[in-house]
Amino acid sequence: MQQPLQAQFIKSAAQLEQCPPGNYPEFAFIGRSNVGKSSLINMLTGNKKLAKTSSTPGKTQLINHFLIENNWYLVDLPGYGFAKVPLKEKAKWEKMTWDYIENRQNLLYVFVLIDCRIPPQKIDLEFVNKLGEKGIPLKLVFTKWDKVKPMKGQKNIDDFKMALTERWEILPEHFITSSEKGVGRLEMLNLIEEIISLNN
């Protein structure tokens, strides 16, 4: 296992105004409910207890800030999609999430997590397209690579990218990850480091 990163939970916010001061670069993580977001965050930081994992979709309901290496924020955003919550509650999360994504000055990239075990889902494609339309820098992260046969996983990834070509001229960069096996950790951390140094 790679060296764990220094990571500490700073705060949860129910709206943009409650987020910590924007004095560090931020990278936000979002995906459909149950895509393995908490597991990926824990794998990246090397701390299994940092983000609370749950088999119940819709566990993350707030904007959660984690300070990494006293240098950048990893931001855990509520999932979208299948969480069994009232529509009113869902609408509130959605407004909070987009308010943060569109107006947080120090947010550098949004990492959109996609389950590579399943064919492209309309909800994921719509979310990625909406980010693109709003000019929000993003990267795609295909999760659960260890839980699918490589050929099937690769086909789902290729199909997703193909579906994006209807709206995108240049596709966003993507990563393939497995939280259990640590796949993709170094590539993602190296990219984050690179982006931070370019923005300093």
Helix/strand/coil (H/E/C) assignment for every residue in 53-78: CCCCCCCCCCEEEEEECCCEEEEECC
How far lies 55's CA from each of 26, 93, 104, 196, in Å? 27, 19, 30, 33
For residue 48 the two structure tokens come to 């299994």
Over its length of 200 residues, how does the chain's per-residue pLDDT go in tens digits? 468 999 999 999 999 999 999 999 999 999 998 899 999 999 999 998 888 765 555 556 889 999 999 999 999 998 887 567 788 888 888 899 999 999 999 999 999 999 999 999 999 999 999 999 999 999 999 999 999 999 999 999 999 999 999 999 999 999 999 999 999 999 999 999 999 999 87
Quote the crossing angle between the two packed helices 150-164 and 122-133, to the nearest 10°.
Answer: 40
**How far from chain centre, in Å, is Cα 155?**
22
The CA distance from 84 to 145, in Å, is 26
Q: What is the pLDDT of residue 93?
A: 86
Q: What is the pLDDT of residue 56?
A: 54
What is the pairing mode between strands 72-76 and 138-143? Answer: unpaired
Q: What domains are defined for the chain? A: 7-199 (3.40.50.300)
Q: The pTM is what?
A: 0.94
- Judge whether 160 and 125 are in contact, CB under 8 Å: yes
Owner of token pair 């999932």: 79
Q: What is the pLDDT of residue 143?
A: 98
Sign, CA torsion 45/46/49/52: positive
Q: What is the pLDDT of residue 82?
A: 58
Alpha helices by DSSP H, 11-121: 37-45, 87-103
Q: Which of 172, 178, 116 is nearest to 142 (CA)?
A: 116
